[in-house]
Structure 1
Amino acid sequence: MDRARTDQDLKRGKDAGLWDSIKETVKVGVQALLIALVVRTLLFQPFNIPSGSLIPTLLIGDYLFVSKYSLGYSKYSLPLSEYLPFEAKGRIWGAEPKRGDIVVFKLPKDNATDYIKRVIGLPGDRIQVIEGVLNINGRAVKRERIADYSTTDAFGQPTLVPQYRETLPNGVTHEIIERDGDRGLWDNTQVYTVPANHFFMMGDNRDNSTDSRDLGNVGYVPYENLIGRAEVIFFSIDEGAAAWQIWNWPWTVRWNRLFKPIH
């Protein structure tokens, strides 16, 4: 009888220990999910680059972290913002982006599609492109020809295209490419006057970027549509390669781009 009672006590003890272990595992899992949610909602959000509009700065297959806190928070900083039942205006703890920052924003046309471009025009600026040269407030931006950039043409064939080092009025320097030379569709434009509380965005791949020059599809970007500033590339894989195929990583990962700051 005593032995039977002892066996039962041992079984109860084992069951209690197993249950405590399960509860602890669930607790740790919930805590991890909450931390991840807070980080994604308030601090950093991962994005991947699906198009070549920011070549040579960002490549198709780059994965990057965007800091939300750097620009403050708006309705569009929240996950699934397009489905929220309320219409919030403005920003909390807002800070305007600087000219030259690369920023993720919600496309004004639908307030749902994520876009990433470089901030070129600030509120009140006059922006124009004349024969491929960017002009800000009536002055041509410095553009220095450097080594041609190796990319692909519209048919996927390797080609070399003109590459320039562009220096914005605040001293920010970055590279741009002109796939169609200085005769592309958007290489001669009207004068754009950026409205208050809006920004003018452009891609570094000037002849292959749908951006603020196209008023019908992008246009001026409202301040509240900004999500965050691109900070660092945390992963990068060749265009067309599958990130989940880890057995191919030694050959498909662009190791030289990992943890590269974004400028």
Structure 2
Amino acid sequence: MAEKEGVLHSIWETVKTVVYALLIAGIFRTLFFQPFWIPSGSMKDTLLIGDFLFVNKMAYGYSYASCPSIRIPALGVDIGADDFCGVFQGAEDRLWGSEPERGDVVVFRHPVTGRDFIKRLIGLPGDRIQMQDGQLILNGTPVTVTDAGIFEEEFAPQGPQGLRPRCANGAVGAGAVCEKRRFTETLPNGVSHDILDIRSQGYDDTGVYTVPEGHYFFMGDNRDNSRDSREPQASGGVGFVPREDIVGRADRIIFSSAGRSMLYFWTWRSDRFFKAID
């Protein structure tokens, strides 16, 4: 009898330890940092497919979007932040909130689908934004752009989804060098970052977007391969993003893998470990 009670006690202690660990992890993820794995090439060459980072949730304060999302397609699990904290949606203020700055790399919830997106903050409330011949025009003034050479990568499947990059040097064969034109863009507040250009496309020339109060305008650094605020939500784009949908700021890459799995150690990018995000 004593032996049976000892086994039950051991099992109970194990269960309690697991529950406490999950609670601590949940609180940590909700309040401080959220892991994020880069699934697409929309932010090249700032972020590459397979980069792993933690999102700083303390940077802008807290809203319903600060609650974790749990998505495991293989198990049919799809729980969004609104499922956990939907009661707080529509709140006028963020808890301990501070304003994002132009040029920040930000994770936010897509205003329609609820999926987590990562893009660069280009437009603040009240800004007027336009693209002319691929150049960003901010409040009527062209943003400074300088040539930064050519970005090269192998034309091969990338990441778990096996996505192949788009190339400015035309159709290239498997294993060949895929090129994109690279420029350094400097925003009015002095933030500089690289952008990539592939070829002329529809969103290289746009009308004027006026950012509404309480909203933000985001763009990917890989300008010709990004669905962002240039595309309206009705067409599957991001459109203007409400302040409450912001999750946090991406500050530093922790780990990076160029392969289909992070377990393929021979595909690790050692030069990107703990790399700051500009």
For the aligned pair, the TM-score class normalised by the smaller chain equals: 0.7 to 0.9
User: Percent identity, aligned pairs only?
Assistant: 48
Q: Secondary structure at the match of 1:64?
A: strand
CA change 1:83–1:28 in 2 (3 A) is closer
Q: Which residue of 1 aligns with 2:149?
A: 147
Q: Secondary structure at the match of 1:207?
A: helix
Q: Which residue of 1 aligns with 2:101?
A: 98
TM alignment of 1:35-50, pairs within 5 A: 35-50=24-39
Q: Secondary structure at the match of 1:57?
A: coil
Residue 236, structure 1, aligned to residue 238, structure 2: no
Q: Which residue of 2 aligns with 1:209?
A: 226
Q: Alignment partner for residue 273 of structure 2, among 234, 240, 258?
A: 258
Q: Which residue of 2 aligns with 1:198?
A: 215
Q: Secondary structure at the match of 1:53?
A: coil
Distance apart, 1:260 and its partner CA: 1.1
Separation in structure 2 between the aligned mates of residue 47 and residue 131 of structure 1, nearest angstrom? 33
Distance apart, 1:33 and its partner CA: 1.9
Q: Which residue of 2 aligns with 1:89?
A: 90
Deviations 1:108-153 (A, max 9, x none): 123x111110000000011111111111111111111012111343
The more displaced of 64-73 and 20-29 is 20-29
The more displaced of 194-203 and 18-27 is 18-27
Q: Which residue of 2 aligns with 1:165?
A: 184
Separation in structure 2 between the aligned mates of residue 119 and residue 233 of structure 1, nearest angstrom? 18
Separation in structure 1 between the aligned mates of residue 108 and residue 172 of structure 2, nearest angstrom? 29
Which contiguous aligned blocks of 4+ residues in structure 1 show a shift greater than 6 angstroms?
14-17
TM score, norm. by length of structure 2: 0.81
Q: Which residue of 1 aligns with 2:58?
A: 69
Separation in structure 2 between the aligned mates of residue 194 and residue 242 of structure 1, nearest angstrom? 39
The answer as to whether partners of 2:63 and 2:88 remain within 8 angstroms in 1 is: no
Q: Alignment partner for residue 135 of structure 2, among 133, 136, 140?
A: 133
Q: Which residue of 1 aligns with 2:20?
A: 31
The answer as to whether partners of 1:176 and 1:204 remain within 8 angstroms in 2 is: yes
Distance apart, 1:18 and its partner CA: 5.8
Structure number, greater radius of gyration: 1
Q: Which residue of 2 aligns with 1:8?
A: none
Deviations 1:95-115 (A, max 9, x none): 1110000111111123x1111
Separation in structure 2 between the aligned mates of residue 153 and residue 99 of structure 1, nearest angstrom? 27
The answer as to whether partners of 1:123 and 1:195 remain within 8 angstroms in 2 is: yes
Amino acid at match of 1:235: F
Deviations 1:186-222 (A, max 9, x none): 1111111110000000000011111111124211111
The runs of 5 or more residues in structure 2 that have no matched partner are 69-79, 154-164
Separation in structure 2 between the aligned mates of residue 228 and residue 89 of structure 1, nearest angstrom? 18
Q: Which residue of 2 aligns with 1:176?
A: 195
Q: Which residue of 2 aligns with 1:224?
A: 244
Separation in structure 2 between the aligned mates of residue 86 and residue 161 of structure 1, nearest angstrom? 45
The answer as to whether partners of 1:46 and 1:64 remain within 8 angstroms in 2 is: yes
Q: Secondary structure at the match of 2:223?
A: coil
TM score, norm. by length of structure 1: 0.85
Cα RMSD over matched residues?
2.0
Separation in structure 2 between the aligned mates of residue 255 and residue 43 of structure 1, nearest angstrom? 26
Q: Alignment partner for residue 186 of structure 1, among 180, 186, 203?
A: 203
The answer as to whether partners of 1:133 and 1:187 remain within 8 angstroms in 2 is: yes
The runs of 5 or more residues in structure 1 that have no matched partner are 1-10
